[in-house]
Amino acid sequence: MTKAKINAGICGFNTTVEASMNGSGCMVRIKSQCKAIQKLAEKLDYVDPFQEITFRHDGPLTLSMAKQYCSHTACPVPVGIIKAVEVEAGLALPAEASIKLFKS
């Protein structure tokens, strides 16, 4: 199992993602303080890791579903879900990712 802890930023909402391989797909469990991500979590429970890591064909199911439930395009949670899936599927090594913003 791969776990991701995501702090979405100024909204202050935290999300935890657990990804576990099940055959050729990946089970996804999402717990979040954000109502929009909670709605996404109700629908997104199983993904194809190879679909998640490319924009070819239909692109990532996670991003497609995020478009339906998450109104903030800069929300890092959907990408965090995809990162957890790719690590769990052995398509990437586990490493911390971050975005640091500064206004000068």
What sign results for the dihedral spanned by CA atoms 54, 25, 64, 95?
A: negative
Q: Is residue 98 part of a domain?
A: no
Q: pLDDT per residue over 33-88, tens digit each?
A: 999 999 999 999 999 999 999 998 889 999 999 999 998 999 999 999 999 999 99
Q: Is residue 51 part of a domain?
A: yes
Q: Which helix (H) or strand (E) holds 14?
A: strand 14-22
Q: pLDDT per residue over 2-42, tens digit each?
A: 999 999 988 999 999 999 999 999 999 999 999 999 999 99
CA 47 to CA 59: how far, in whole Å? 12
Whole-model pTM: value is 0.93
Q: In this structure, are residues 81 and 2 in contact, taking their beta carbons and an 8 Å threshold?
A: no
Report the domain count for the chain. 1
Q: Domain span at residue 80?
A: 2-88
